[in-house]
Amino acid sequence: MPSSVTFLFAGGGTGGHLYPALAIARELADLEPGARSVFLCSTRPLDQRILDAAGARSVAIPAAPPSLAPKRLVKFLFAWGPSVRAAREAIREAKAASCAPAPVIAMGGFVAAPCVQAARSERTPVALINLDAVPGKANRWIAGRAGLCLAVAGADRLSGAVPLRPIVRREAMPPGPAPACRTLLGLDPALRTLFITGGSQGASSINNLMIALAREEPRAFAGWQVFHQAGDAAATESLGAAYSAAGIPARVVAFCDPMGPAWGAADLALSRCGAGAVAEIWASGTPSLLLPYPYHRDQHQRANARPLVDCEGAIVETDLIDPQQNLAGAGRTLAALVAHPARLAGMRRGLATLGPAEGARQAAEQLLRWAHAQQ
């Protein structure tokens, strides 16, 4: 394989598609110093913010998520052609720059599918990296067209997929002991810490649950502090006001990057259970209460969490969306966990049995071997 080979990572719209790609790209560069990576992402501002912060080369593809809702379906259909053309142009440029095949690495999601169609038109190799325990429609379609399929989860549902351990970028690993991580975040290094995250875009139902808990059960958090990734400026303001009124020490941010200090600071996390969050919980060994995204028909986030639940390192509750209903379910469970440090210690021991989250290195090794074989 020529040292100037370029890998085109196709995926975006959320950090859950981009962060694993960034982790693999770094490993590729370490293993094959001349290897380059370009990211075919969505036009959402979040994508550019994440990729710019990482110093990554990127091309925005005007793709839209598929939907059966009439207006969104029309948007998806109108975006398909321009998305394929933009991806084809990026592939041609990468091939010309390296004088070699420019493999497209599909990370799943609505950006990946038109990029794979473009790769087929340009006769360039395609690999799929499946992150979720229940592969989505796009990934099932891509799997039938990929020369290599790697699966962090869901390998049993994709014929011929090679299993991987979770993919975690280095910046999401705790950089030191808990007191040092809390200091990095501007928190009290001596206080137990609850880390709350709804993912890179936040989660309104989790935010509203915490506002309700702060209002109705503030004493449940005595001796604790909160670090909360809220998702946007409006949620940051309302949550900050709620914690302040309840007398709960808290720092609320719209977006958190790097994530390593947050996981390192936490005695307990309240989170969604997308593939990225599950991987980071696995890697950091953080006891967690997980609320799967409630609007997915296949409930794949619940399936993602299975390894964490099986080792007794996490508890999954149903997100009932309404904050008052969530108070009686997830809110009660959260209050019970905060009150029992010994149980949290047991959960951490369970997570330690899972082993290292070394999927990024495994994926890079597989991709390089496969790319060599394309010559």
Q: Which amino acid is at 47?
A: D
Q: pLDDT, tens digit, for every residue of 79-89?
A: 999 999 999 99
Q: pLDDT, tens digit, for every residue of 265-313?
A: 999 999 999 999 999 999 999 999 999 999 877 788 999 999 999 999 9
| Contact (CB, 8 A) for 91 and 9 | no
| Contact (CB, 8 A) for 134 and 157 | yes
Which CATH code of 2.40.30.30, 3.40.50.2000, 3.20.20.70, 3.40.1280.10 fits the domain covering 171-352? 3.40.50.2000
Class of domain 6-167+357-373: alpha beta
Eight-class DSSP state of 187: S
Question: Can you give the pLDDT at residue 300?
Answer: 86
Ranges for all domains in the chain classified under CATH 3.40.50.2000:
6-167+357-373, 171-352
Question: Can you give the pLDDT at residue 2?
Answer: 46
| Burial call 80-106: b when 16+ CB within 10 Å, e when fewer | beebbebbbebbeebbeebebbbbbbb
Residue linked to tokens 């989790």: 206
Average pLDDT in the 174-197 region? 98
Question: Can you give the pLDDT at residue 299?
Answer: 82
Q: Which amino acid is at 314?
A: A
Eight-class DSSP state of 60: E
Q: What is the mean pLDDT of the chain?
A: 94
Strand 148-151 and strand 162-163: the pairing is: parallel
Distance CA 123, CA 90 (A): 13
